[in-house]
Structure 1
Amino acid sequence: MQGEVVVLSGPPGAGKSTVAAALARGYERSVHLHTDDFWHSITAGSIPPYLAEAHEQNETVLRVVAMAAFGYAEGGYTVVVDGVVGPWMLRHFELPLRHGRETVTHYVVLRPARHTTLARARARTGVDALTDEEPILAMWDRFADLGELERHVLDTTQHSADQTLALVSQGVRDGSFRLLPGRT
């Protein structure tokens, strides 16, 4: 049985990790791939991923995350990828048919209002939590207008984590966030 991949994205502080963990727990067979773990796995030569000079590193990390996600999906797992995966990196999740099967891939962007995102990000207390205003707002700005991908956006400004989870779950079930050939 082929699994599916759900890419849960958005700027830092959008609530991705909280929602992704809960979403993954809702499936019988699932994997939660927290992309931050992949960046933290780089033991030497790591560049903060929000810096322009990290482009090559970021390409590598997202390619590895996508390969892991599709590998698990081929094994029958529903995979929830949790990370800052903007349209500029989405091509890594648009793999061609493999072994005669197409993996259903969903793309969901959590995008609370700019000021809400900043407040949520700055309130985080994790050891490696990004709380610096400049990169948080710069990343929010990159998600501000997704053009043809706007239908994949959830404005979660007024939503709790449970409400956001319900919206994401429903959208995945009914195919609202499914990536179709040509990306939209």
Structure 2
Amino acid sequence: MKQKVWIISGPAGVGKSTTAKQLARQMKKSAYISGDDISHMAVSGREKPWESERANELVWKNIVALSDNFLEADYDVVVDWIVFWKDVQTYTSHWIEQGIEVHYVILWAEQDVHVQRDQHRPADSQMGERVIILRNEFLSSGAPDRYYLDNTVGELSRMIQQIQETERFVLTDMHQSGASI
């Protein structure tokens, strides 16, 4: 059976972690990788990945290294992080070239629902205006519409099923699709 990497993305507070963890739990042999956890491994001198290309690259190198280790041990991998189209283009091609099936899903919700979800998070996890900033960054990122999945309404189990069964989330060779790396 073909190995898979699932990249569950979207703006802060849209349900990435909940969705990614549940997706990983439903697989026979899987690993869950949180980009946020990796980002916070640097304790002293930590730069924020959204403010520093160097910090973003370091998080990605660690996501890729961990993923490669799990893939080598026959695990499927679920990555949970705010992943923009340029990063997908930069960091996934080696998996595709190895015959690993890579899925990219941008979870999305109507703006008022998204803002409400953020407000219901614990106070220390709320993103406030960053929710709107990230929404706009995704909309201007160049990601094809096919990778967006509206989770404004609906059960989590139905979302998971759609993510698993819908071919539109599967990445193809970035060179063939006309994307630049």
TM range (shorter): 0.7 to 0.9
| Structure 1 position 74 matched with structure 2 position 69 | no
Q: 1:148 to 1:61 in 2, by over 3 A?
A: closer
Match of 1:21?
A: 21
| Structure 1 position 85 matched with structure 2 position 77 | no
The answer to whether the 8 Å contact 2:96/2:172 transfers is no
After superposition, the C-alpha distances for 1:74-100 in whole angstroms (9 at most, x for unaligned) are 3211100011011121111222677xx
Relative to the length of structure 2, the TM-score reads 0.86
Q: 1:96 to 1:20 in 2, by over 3 A?
A: closer
After superposition, the C-alpha distances for 1:89-144 in whole angstroms (9 at most, x for unaligned) are 1111222677xx322111111011222222212211175x2x13222211111112
Q: Output the CA distance in 1 between the equivalents of 2:144 and 2:68.
A: 22
Map 1:166-181 → 2, pairs under 5 A: 166-171=161-166, 175-181=167-173
Match of 1:4?
A: 4
Find the residue that maps to 2:144 and give its secondary structure.
helix
Match of 2:152?
A: 157
Match of 1:106?
A: 103
Match of 1:117?
A: 114
Map 1:11-50 → 2, pairs under 5 A: 11-50=11-50
Give the count of matched residue pairs: 175
Unaligned ranges ≥5, structure 1: none
Relative to the length of structure 1, the TM-score reads 0.84
Map 1:44-59 → 2, pairs under 5 A: 44-50=44-50, 52=51, 54-59=52-57
- Structure 1 residue ranges, 4+ long, deviating more than 4 angstroms after superposition: 145-148
Find the residue that maps to 1:157 and give its secondary structure.
coil
Aligned-residue identity in percent: 26
Q: Output the CA distance in 2 between the equivalents of 1:88 and 1:122.
A: 29
Unaligned ranges ≥5, structure 2: none
